[in-house]
Structure 1
Amino acid sequence: MPQTSKIFYQLKPLLQYVPSIEPPEKRVPLQDKLFWTLGCLLVFLVASQTGLYGIRIGDKTPDPWYWFRAVLASNRGTLMELGISPVVTSSLVMQLLIGSRLLHVDYSNKEDSALYTSAQKLCAIVITVGEALAYVVSGKMF
């Protein structure tokens, strides 16, 4: 085990609480895939229209993040305010750390690969909390 991947092993007790999905044991039928894809899309669309408490969604004030929101699948003043930006950001951060050789992951080792995936999810959760706090503390969300 290279020295730099010790971080993943030190985070291991915390990473066990990060949810993960086991790969299917048998081939999943197309109908099941379509059902779950459409179900997730429905949840996303409903969350994109559900306003946050105390926020007026129909407010006509200019949105300086309009084009950025289109790229990151977010919607102003709704549950999907942050969109997919925490997930994308955590993926970029982890890839930069590996690319700069600050972290080492042996993808052929299943445990290393699983720890990397869990660490990436944990990073996304931390980024989500950080972005949400920044919105709340700044008070300039809307």
Structure 2
Amino acid sequence: MGGGFRVLHLVRPFLSFLPEVQSADRKIPFREKVICTVVSLFIFLVCSQLPLYGIHSTTGADPFYWMRVILASNRGTVMELGITPIVTSGLVMQLLAGSKIIEVDNSVREDRALLNGAQKLLGILIAVGEAVAYVL
């Protein structure tokens, strides 16, 4: 790797603000993994049924019905955007890295951290963009 400017370095100032899940320092028992998975699914299901304040439900046809099925979202709820932002950002960043548009060396820990940070930041930007598009 050369010492020049790289696009991923633009993400570095934002890394301290982005959430990160730490790696486990011990072996996690299967039972604990199952409990965490069940709790996560429960939170997702609750958010999928929790209506947003100020949204008036309509009885008309939903033009995005099949898109909502594929992207795990529910109309007028907290999970309106579903998993779309994080999946889309991951896909875009992997395509950019795979096609060598952005330079990433997966054997270097810092590059992996910068790529993950860029995925998170792009996911946040996509979520904000989609939220604005839904409101308009």
TM-score norm. by structure 1 comes to 0.89
Matching residue of 1:14: 14
Whole-Å separation in 1 of the counterparts to 2:102 and 2:4:
5
Is 2:60 the partner of 1:61? yes
Whole-Å separation in 1 of the counterparts to 2:50 and 2:2:
47
SS at match of 1:16: helix
Amino acid at match of 2:109: K
Amino acid at match of 1:103: I
Whole-Å separation in 1 of the counterparts to 2:4 and 2:66:
38
Q: Which runs of 5+ in 1 are unaligned?
A: none
Matching residue of 2:90: 91
Q: Which runs of 5+ in 2 are unaligned?
A: none
Runs of 4+ deviating beyond 2 Å: 1-5
Call closer, same or farther: CA 1:62–1:114 in 2, change over 3 Å: same
Shift of 1:3: 7.3
Contact residue 15 and residue 118 of structure 1 kept, 8 A: yes
Aligned residue-pair number:
136
Whole-Å separation in 1 of the counterparts to 2:125 and 2:22:
23
Identity over the aligned pairs, expressed in percent? 49
Whole-Å separation in 2 of the counterparts to 1:56 and 1:38:
31
Contact residue 11 and residue 117 of structure 2 kept, 8 A: no
Whole-Å separation in 2 of the counterparts to 1:119 and 1:9:
9
Instruction: Report the RMSD for the aligned CA atoms in angstroms.
Output: 1.6
User: Aligned ranges for residues 64-79 of structure 1 at < 5 Å?
Assistant: 64-79=63-78
